[in-house]
Amino acid sequence: MTDGVFGRESGHEQVVFCQDPHSGLKAIIAVYSTALGPALGGTRFYPYASEHEALDDVLALSKGMAYKNALAGLDLGGGKAVIIGDPVTGKSEALLRAYGRFVQSLGGRYITACDVGTYVADMDVVARESRFVTGRSRDLGGAGDSSVLTAFGVFQGMLASAEHVWGTTDLRGRRVGVSGVGKVGHILTGHLVEAGAEVVVADVSERAVERTVAACPGVQVVADEAALVRSDVDIFAPCALGGVLDDDTVAALRARVVCGAANNQLAHPGVEKLLDERGILFAPDYLVNSGGVIQVSDELHGFDFERAKRRVTSLFDTTKRVFALAESEGVPPVTAADRLAERRMAEVPRLRSILTT
């Protein structure tokens, strides 16, 4: 570990580097906070260019999970894990089980689930070595693919955003650009088409685009994310990897609303102010994409899909609450969302100091 990694005062409670030479596992588990409960967050399997890049990602993602879980009203803290490698060529039962043993060694401080590069079947394998796994298959009593309610939650946030900007939740005739039509973006596109929106998509994967066009024949396709940003769309929905909203992107955006599933969409602090100055409403990513974590957290209590979906539906009201607070305090929505999450993380643990008889 280099000297500079923690010189930034990340605020994390625990960061664990995991290595199993036999299976080829190289992973990092980051626990940002357990103030509200065990840290829940998915496992990302990705071919990072370096360990330092992987560490940067897991630190940012785990902090985002703490805020996400707090704002979603869950009694869970925030954590995340990354496995360094190509999920297509490097994934194996031995590697996943080795990873599961590391998760188990944390004794429940961290509960894992699916993320980019990992799937329900992978969590079933990890669960053979650890009790602290969610997002397992329905056959094993799990919540299944969390993409389903992640997309539904983003859709709820988009409806709230539309009502805030245009005074109605009706998306008919609205043009929505979806960047990334993988697990979540594909399902979100289906919701949008069903709602009568005109949808334009872009993805680096031709297969993902072909699958989405086959499912939703009226969808239009542009060359890449940059072209989508410059397109004449009302709503821009980033649903791929994070960091898409930087100074140049914000300057080029023609959308009135940004609302998508990708984590950590703001490339650096201050971008939220640029969006605000341009009159672009930003629905905080960790708020609107929390449907997935709500879904898998329900698994901890014996999974009930309809119960989880009802809870995800409430993201519409939470999003409206964030927009109202932002307006009343004169701050960007992401600042308002941060304040609500931080308030809950600070106030709820204090209740535990009250003795009961």
- The catalytic residue positions are 80
**Comparing C-alpha atoms, which of 194, 214, 198, 218 is closest to residue 206?**
214
| 310 three-state secondary structure | helix
Output DSSP code: residue 299. Answer: G
Helix (H) or strand (E) holding 225: helix 225-230
Contact between residue 118 and residue 43 where contact means Cβ atoms under 8 Å apart: yes
Spatial distance between the Cα atoms of 6 and 138, rounded to a whole number of angstroms: 40
**Would strands 43-46 and 257-258 be described as parallel, antiparallel, or unpaired?**
unpaired
First to last CA, the chain: 47
In sign, the C-alpha dihedral spanning 88, 189, 299, 64 is positive
Query: CB atoms < 10 A from the CB of 52, how many?
Result: 13
Contact between residue 132 and residue 103 where contact means Cβ atoms under 8 Å apart: yes
CA atoms within 13 A on the CB side of 206: 0
E strand spans, 175-297: 175-179, 198-202, 220-221, 235-238, 257-258, 281-282
Which whole-number Å values give the CA distances from 34 to 31, 37, 284, 291, in the listed order?
A: 8, 5, 22, 20
- The radius of gyration computed from the CA coordinates of the chain, to the nearest angstrom, equals 20
Contact between residue 241 and residue 116 where contact means Cβ atoms under 8 Å apart: yes
